[in-house]
Structure 1
Amino acid sequence: MFLDRQSLWRHLRQWEKLAAEAEGPFRLRFGTLFVADADSAREILVDSADRYIQQSGFFRLGPEPLPQALRTAASHELLRALSHHDLHALFDVDDAIHELSDSRGHLRHQRWGVRLVRRYFAPVIAHHRHTALNSLVDAYVESSVIADDVVGRVVTPSHRSVRRIRAGFAEQLRRLPARETEAEAAATLATTATDADADVRDLVDVVLGLRGELTPADRAQLLQRLILSMVGFTGVALEWVVLLGIQHGYNTPAVRPDQVRSLVRETLRLYPTAWRLVREAATDHEIRGVPVSKGEHVMIGTHAIHRSGAVWDRPPDFDPSRWERLTDDQRRAFLPFGKGAEMCPANGFALKALEHLGHLILHGYRGTVRIRKRTPHARTLLAPPAGWTRLTRSG
């Protein structure tokens, strides 16, 4: 929808204005029902989720989500993989910033954050795997996550290259041994002194370990979606955190971790990377008196909910201090990762990564920002305006 346009920011702002004037859900001019209040969003995502087709942006094959049991298992295994690595200690931020800066020391917006986060999560994506697998990860990040989901180069060969990369993932996964079944793992643990061999170390382990009749191509698709969740959303949000931190005086050796924590949340309120959530109705029903037909798609405008004057004081203003005194209504209206069973799997670890990396950069570097366009860039993800950030080591 609208993805033949370079940026959707103008439409987002129009929808925010319409939402401020409406008393509940309303239809956009092309017919889609637009939800811009937290109560209706919660009804769709949590309270009446059974009225909508089960949906997961990441644990799915094509349009079909994996069964709930598999999604739960995958989420659990993902957390196990993350727990294996001390990313704080492993990551060399100086080396990453040096590698990603151009000859003038510039970090180009809509790119550098994704590339840096790719490096940060490298041990969790394909831990000590064959170089061919990591090369495919890099190719996918460049040709799909950045070129398509962030920048939006629609009329390019990127879609063909993504299919080729998926086939490469499938071939590499086919060559790897399948993870042990639970019974086999238990037998292994009974005869060994360590459980290291049975542990889940990376996303490759996660997709290889999923039970069921999944082909290598299926597992390759799931791997791609998990990379997008881990790298794409977090990387774009990091650019926003650093950009706003520099613009609003957080770029100082005196900045505290708790200040960056509030900065991250205020950034995600104003510029939620996932600016909308879409659900398909499974039955005829109503939302706040508005009829919804089976098969109809309902759009939850995260950006509009996060900027609602009915919930937030001075909603357009950048004010991280508001997170020191949140009301219950404001907590309910904060949806950067969605809510309920289909919440984005990046919830939790992405926030920790943003807080750690944001503090590492804002505390350790002096920063300069230059903006070439005044408006954010809204495609699949909501990214900063075109321009660049330059970071120089403090001291």
Structure 2
Amino acid sequence: MFLDRQSLWHHLRRWESLAADAHGPFRLRFGTLFVADAEAARDVLVDSADKYAPQSGFFRLGPTPLPRTLRAEASHGLLGILARHDLRSSFDVDSALREAGDGRGRLRHQRWGVQVVRRYFAPVIAHQRHSDINSLVDAYLTSSIVADDIVGHAVRRAHRSVPGIRAGFAEQLARLPAQRADAQDLVDLVMRLPGGLSLADRAQLLQRLVLATVGFTGVTLEWVVLLGVQHGYNDPALRPEHVRPLVKEALRLCPTAWRLARVAATDHEIAGVPVRAGEHILIGTHALHRAATVWDRPLDFRPTRWERPTRDQKRSYLPFGKGREMCPANGFAVQALEHLGYLALRDYRGTVRLRRRKPHVRTLLAPPAGWTRLTARAQADRRD
């Protein structure tokens, strides 16, 4: 959809405006039904989920999701792997920020977050694996997640690097020794899945799990730090409990996953609007999160609104979706964002410079072009 466009931001704002004037779902110019009402969205995602084709953003091969039992096993395995690693105590934030920066403390938007989160989740992704596997993970991050999903450099030309990286993963997976007793990382997870999957299938699943773990979380980390610096949360007195509403508000105002897509499996109705089998449904997370009928001053960044959210606000808040197809990154991504956001805002002085004012929207909704500078407080204090 609109893959010839560099950014979809003006489309999001137009759909948001149309949703404000509509009384229920409405069709976009290209025929897709657009849903920006909490009750209708819940009907699609939860109450009438069986009326839609199974889908998964990460546990799928091409457009075809894995069988539901296999997806459940993969999700359970992912949570088990995360529980085995103490990521907080093993992570060196200073080293990660230096590596992601330009040598002067400047972190380039639409890139630095995924680099830091890649370091954070390194033990989970390819724990003590051969350097070739980790090199392929880094190549996938730069040539696909950053270049395509975030920035959109691959918009007007054939994107040939991903199949090559996938072939490299398959080759490396074929060389692995016998499986370990307990799954320690994503490589173990994809190799242990049953069902007669080929090495190419397992390589593709590994790529998608890297996107789930690093891509969405990394972009949101940039939003959390950028908005935190701009709105006075960049303070050495910051406490962990202050960061939780900051993360929730960043995901409300700038939801990285700005839409949820479904395909109707049967003829039915959504809030009185007829839908035929095969039609595409677009749930506008971005529009839901900015509806003036639900959110007071919806365009303002106000983490305090989460002190006592209303029932309508809770039902309209869908940064990870809802129901059985909910994004598997839900729990561990929020925990990582709270921890990393806390470290960056408490221990570093921040400044933000924007080259553009508008967010950049491709597969993910990313911050505007520009950079954030983070300087360790001890270093900044010596300069003062």
Normalising TM by the smaller chain, what interval? over 0.9
CA distance in 2: counterparts of 1:129 and 1:159, whole angstroms: 27
Matched, 1:224 2:204: no
How far residue 198 of structure 1 moved from its aligned partner, in angstroms, is 2.0
Matched, 1:59 2:59: yes
How far residue 105 of structure 1 moved from its aligned partner, in angstroms, is 2.5
How far residue 157 of structure 1 moved from its aligned partner, in angstroms, is 6.4
Matched, 1:246 2:226: no
CA distance in 1: counterparts of 2:130 and 2:154, whole angstroms: 31
How far residue 177 of structure 1 moved from its aligned partner, in angstroms, is 3.9
The residue identity in structure 1 corresponding to 2:220 is: A
Matched, 1:272 2:255: yes
How far residue 207 of structure 1 moved from its aligned partner, in angstroms, is 0.4
How far residue 174 of structure 1 moved from its aligned partner, in angstroms, is 1.3
How far residue 219 of structure 1 moved from its aligned partner, in angstroms, is 0.3
CA distance in 2: counterparts of 1:318 and 1:153, whole angstroms: 30
Q: Is the 1:4–1:154 Cα contact (8 Å) retained in structure 2? A: no
Name the counterpart of 2:278. 295
**CA displacement, residues 104-127 of structure 1 (integer Å, 9 cap, x when unaligned):** 321100000011100100000000
The residue identity in structure 2 corresponding to 1:135 is: S
Q: Is the 2:354–2:371 Cα contact (8 Å) retained in structure 1? A: yes
Query: Superposed, which structure 2 residues align to 1:1-395 within 5 Å?
Result: 1-155=1-155, 159-177=159-177, 179=179, 197-395=180-378
CA distance in 2: counterparts of 1:287 and 1:156, whole angstroms: 36
Q: Is the 1:167–1:217 Cα contact (8 Å) retained in structure 2? A: yes
CA distance in 2: counterparts of 1:367 and 1:248, whole angstroms: 11
**CA displacement, residues 32-79 of structure 1 (integer Å, 9 cap, x when unaligned):** 100001111111111000100000010000111000000000000001
The residue identity in structure 1 corresponding to 2:41 is: A
- Secondary structure of the 2:191 match is helix
The residue identity in structure 2 corresponding to 1:35 is: V
- Secondary structure of the 1:42 match is helix
Q: Is the 2:113–2:222 Cα contact (8 Å) retained in structure 1? A: yes
CA distance in 1: counterparts of 2:277 and 2:345, whole angstroms: 48
CA distance in 2: counterparts of 1:116 and 1:36, whole angstroms: 33
User: What number of residue pairs does the alignment pair up?
Assistant: 378
**CA displacement, residues 270-290 of structure 1 (integer Å, 9 cap, x when unaligned):** 000000011000011110111
CA distance in 1: counterparts of 2:76 and 2:155, whole angstroms: 38
CA distance in 1: counterparts of 2:260 and 2:220, whole angstroms: 17
Q: Is the 1:107–1:390 Cα contact (8 Å) retained in structure 2? A: yes
Q: Would the alpha carbon gap of residues 14 and 156 (structure 1) be closer, same or farther in structure 2, given more than 3 Å must change?
A: closer
Q: Is the 1:144–1:158 Cα contact (8 Å) retained in structure 2? A: no
Q: Is the 1:148–1:158 Cα contact (8 Å) retained in structure 2? A: no
CA distance in 1: counterparts of 2:19 and 2:176, whole angstroms: 51
Q: Is the 2:3–2:155 Cα contact (8 Å) retained in structure 1? A: no
How far residue 332 of structure 1 moved from its aligned partner, in angstroms, is 1.1
Q: Would the alpha carbon gap of residues 117 and 156 (structure 1) be closer, same or farther in structure 2, given more than 3 Å must change?
A: farther
CA distance in 2: counterparts of 1:346 and 1:103, whole angstroms: 31
The residue identity in structure 2 corresponding to 1:280 is: V
Q: Is the 2:5–2:155 Cα contact (8 Å) retained in structure 1? A: no
**Backbone CA RMSD of aligned residues:** 1.1
- Secondary structure of the 1:146 match is helix
Q: Extract structure 1 runs of 4+ deviating beyond 6 A.
A: none
- Secondary structure of the 1:168 match is helix
Name the counterpart of 1:189. none
The residue identity in structure 1 corresponding to 2:319 is: P
Q: Is the 1:178–1:208 Cα contact (8 Å) retained in structure 2? A: no
How far residue 101 of structure 1 moved from its aligned partner, in angstroms, is 1.1
- Secondary structure of the 1:207 match is helix
CA distance in 2: counterparts of 1:273 and 1:261, whole angstroms: 17
- Secondary structure of the 1:69 match is helix
How far residue 98 of structure 1 moved from its aligned partner, in angstroms, is 1.1
CA distance in 1: counterparts of 2:171 and 2:348, whole angstroms: 42
CA distance in 2: counterparts of 1:160 and 1:339, whole angstroms: 33
CA distance in 2: counterparts of 1:307 and 1:51, whole angstroms: 27
**CA displacement, residues 145-187 of structure 1 (integer Å, 9 cap, x when unaligned):** 00000000125767211110000001111112454xxxxxxxx
CA distance in 2: counterparts of 1:105 and 1:267, whole angstroms: 23
The residue identity in structure 2 corresponding to 1:334 is: Y
- Secondary structure of the 2:250 match is helix
Q: Is the 1:54–1:65 Cα contact (8 Å) retained in structure 2? A: yes
- Secondary structure of the 1:348 match is helix
**CA displacement, residues 263-316 of structure 1 (integer Å, 9 cap, x when unaligned):** 000000000000001100001111011111110100000000001112111111
5+ residue gaps, structure 1, are: 180-196
- Secondary structure of the 2:330 match is coil
Identical aligned residues as a percent? 71
The residue identity in structure 1 corresponding to 2:306 is: W
CA distance in 1: counterparts of 2:175 and 2:198, whole angstroms: 13
How far residue 334 of structure 1 moved from its aligned partner, in angstroms, is 0.8
How far residue 388 of structure 1 moved from its aligned partner, in angstroms, is 0.4
Q: Would the alpha carbon gap of residues 85 and 158 (structure 1) be closer, same or farther in structure 2, given more than 3 Å must change?
A: farther
How far residue 256 of structure 1 moved from its aligned partner, in angstroms, is 1.2
